[in-house]
Amino acid sequence: MRLFKCQNCSQIVYFENTACERCGLILGFLSDVNTISALKPKGDLWQPLRSRKTLRFCANAQHGACNWLVEPDADSPLCLACQHNRTIPDLSVPENLLAWQKLEIAKHRLFYALLRLGLRPTNRTVDPEGGLAFDFLADPPANDAPKVMTGHDNGLITIALAEADDAERERRRTQMHEPYRSLLGHFRHEVGHYFWDVLIRDGGKLEACRAVFGDDRQDYGAALQAHYQNGPPPDWQSNYVSAYATSHPWEDWAETWAHYLHIIDTVEMASAFGIRVQPRLAADDALAAEIDLDPYKSDAFQPIVDAWVPLTLAVNSLNRAMGTPDLYPFVLSPAIVNKLRFVHEVVRAAGERNRARSRAHRAAVREMAQPAGV
């Protein structure tokens, strides 16, 4: 994530802001150019500053759940992120609304990253069977009824509304022996399963992926059962980013994918702040970094790692000084870095293909609109 600026008064604004704190102008996110813009009212529509076009807010803005803008003649009243919602909770229940708003913040941050990577998933309108969709579900009222489980099934991602409760999420984190658990982490992990289907299974990368992550054809249910009964192998940190990643190659991919998104989004924000790490007591510059790169545009993965390791060392140390858990309580061994690099290369290749298709489509549209004889 990067910093944004109000086009009216140059105040720094953030991704979730809906109004500039300095000048008071309404703000909205323009997904076609991935930026926040100050807006002027134009009747029932809004005009971004420094633009002639007019737009309307996503229908979910009325619930305080979205600040993205939509073309006024778009087929759907929802923005391209909210079009992937299949089920939302009963909003007449106040606590459901607050929980859903938290889920939407995490989901929109996910979509920011996907757009920056050139990955635009299809929704269930385009692909009713395998398009990406979200069910945000509250637990049933009966105490003895089964609880909602967060998970993925052929493009359908279920997120338990209870995960938006900080105390409940911490309880589950402790119960599951996880060093880190967040709403954004859930979204990043589960969408990793969707993109395994799209980029690996359907993208001609199965054998290459198996060479790095292992054979996904092993029985998934049996593998999970064995993991929960026996736990991870003793030396798991040498090859896996988390204990859960050891359960099956699909989970290894999804966990690694999630950490890849953690890393590039945090490095982008560190770069936006111009962060420089230079430990004064270090004997050399091995743990030094001047973070000045756009990880979403970096062809090579190594510069991202070179920025990430010193950054996490510094921020983890700051967290400890405040008496809070480490921001990033994980170790990146050479084997894990190799897996992250594989994800980076797959994503870069897919993003370039998608951008090339978009450029060709726009050129074709312009050519069709050109008057005859010109």
- Each domain of the chain, given as residue ranges in start order, spans 1-74, 80-191, 204-374
Residue 225, C-beta contacts closer than 8 angstroms, at least 6 positions apart: none
**pTM score, whole prediction:** 0.93
Q: What is the pLDDT along the chain (374 residues), one digit of tens a residue?
A: 999 999 999 999 999 999 999 999 999 999 999 999 999 999 999 999 988 899 999 999 999 999 999 999 999 999 999 999 999 999 999 999 999 999 999 999 999 999 999 999 999 999 998 899 999 999 988 777 888 999 999 999 999 999 999 999 999 999 888 888 999 999 999 999 999 999 999 999 999 999 999 999 999 999 999 999 999 999 999 999 999 999 999 999 999 999 999 999 999 999 999 999 999 887 778 788 999 999 999 999 999 999 999 999 999 999 999 999 999 999 999 999 999 999 999 999 999 988 887 776 556 655 655 665 55
Q: Which letter does DSSP use for residue 207 in this model?
A: H
Tokens of 235: 């030396």
Tell me the DSSP string of 329-353: -----HHHHHHHHHHHHHHHHHHHH
The 10 Å Cβ neighbour count of residue 212 is 17
Rounded Cα–Cα distance for residues 177 and 180 (Å) = 9
Name the β-bridge partners of 182.
Answer: none
**d(C-alpha 258, C-alpha 373), whole Å:** 52
